[in-house]
Amino acid sequence: MLDRLPPDWRAALNNRVDAPPLEHLQAFLACEVEAGKRLFPAQADWFRALELTPLAAVRVVILGQDPYHGEGQAHGLAFSVPPGVRPPPSLVNIFKELEADLGLARPHHGLLEHWARQGVLLLNTVLTVELATAGAHQGRGWEALTDAIIRAVDAQGAPGVFVLWGAHAQKKAALVQSDRHLVLQSPHPSPLSARRGFFGSRPFSRANAFLEANGRGAIDWRLP
């Protein structure tokens, strides 16, 4: 599994992940494919977030749970969808908060690659899912890898921002040195919880203020 990672991430994670969870994960995924189950995203996109955002470039981590499980939605970046795919409700709410926070007009698409290329690691804690079955691949081994990714970012010399939306993501706060990094926690942007504190949390302006105060430059949150 590690052999499929970009070289910089592979070098950083090589001694951070025990082999058994990844071996179990590979066996599980092979069995799922053999059984004819449809998995998202496509295998070529499993590590798309790491490909677009090198470790040394990470300034912000936005943590999701698992990929979208609808047809054609997941493409390897948390909360993002490919061009031509209608933004799901959680992403619509993210755009509403972006507009309220920074005054930016809501985008007409849901592709977040512009963020990723600036150092925003759009990471899910589980990197695959079965069609129409949310959470189907939780507890199968992905967490060992993604926890190691979070720890690798935490260990970088420069301070960064960790955006943890919802209870699942907030469990990962224990992996982050909050005395060095800014950890922003709020309810998930899902329609079920967004009005309980996600709206009004101002994650984009708060992240930029911290980055600028630490000499790392602001993220351009616009989506051209």
Domain range enclosing 90: 2-214
Task: Say if 224 falls within a structural domain.
Answer: no
Per-residue tokens: 190:
């899902």
pLDDT value of residue 1: 83
Instruction: Give yes or no for a contact between 81 and 73, defined as CB atoms under 8 angstroms apart.
Output: yes
Q: What percent of the chain is predicted at pLDDT more than 90?
A: 98
Please tell me the distance from the alpha carbon of residue 13 to that of residue 94, in angstroms, as a whole number: 30
Flag whether 58 is in a domain.
yes
Mean per-residue pLDDT, 133-138: 95
Residue 220: inside a domain = no
| Domain presence at residue 221 | no
Amino acid letter for position 84: G
All residues at 6 or more sequence positions from 71 whose CB lies less than 8 Å from its CB, including other chains: 131
Is 147 in the active site? no
Tell me the pLDDT tens digit for each residue of 79-96.
999 999 999 999 999 999
Whole-Å CA distances, 213 to 158, 159, 160, 181, 218: 12, 10, 11, 12, 9
Structure tokens of 115? Answer: 């963020």
Is position 11 within any domain?
A: yes
Element holding 26 (H helix, E strand): helix 19-34
The rounded distance, in Å, linking the Cα atoms of 198 and 30 is 38
Residue of 100, 96, 87 lying closest to 206 (CA atoms) = 100
Residue type, 158: A
The Cα–Cα gap between 208 and 149 comes to: 22
Check residue 114 and give its pLDDT. 98
The answer to whether residue 79 is domain-embedded is yes
- Please count the structural domains in the chain: 1
Instruction: Please indicate, yes or no, if residue 195 is contained in any of the structural domains.
Output: yes
Q: What's the CATH code of the domain at 158?
A: 3.40.470.10
Average pLDDT of the residues in 188-204:
97
Question: In which residue are the tokens 């979208």 written?
Answer: 68
**Helix H or strand E encompassing 155:** none
Q: Is 162 part of a structural domain of the chain?
A: yes
Give the per-residue pLDDT at 65: 93
d(CA 114, CA 222): 8
Q: Which of 8, 45, 66, 101 is catalytic?
A: 66
Instruction: Please provide the average confidence, as pLDDT, over all residues in the chain.
Output: 97
| Span 191-198, average pLDDT | 97
Task: Note the pTM of the prediction, 2 decimals.
Answer: 0.97
Which one, of 73, 51, 47, lies nearest residue 127 by Cα?
47
Q: Are 68 and 81 in contact (CB under 8 A)?
A: yes
pLDDT of residue 205: 98
Is residue 219 a contact partner of residue 115, using CB atoms and an 8 Å limit?
yes
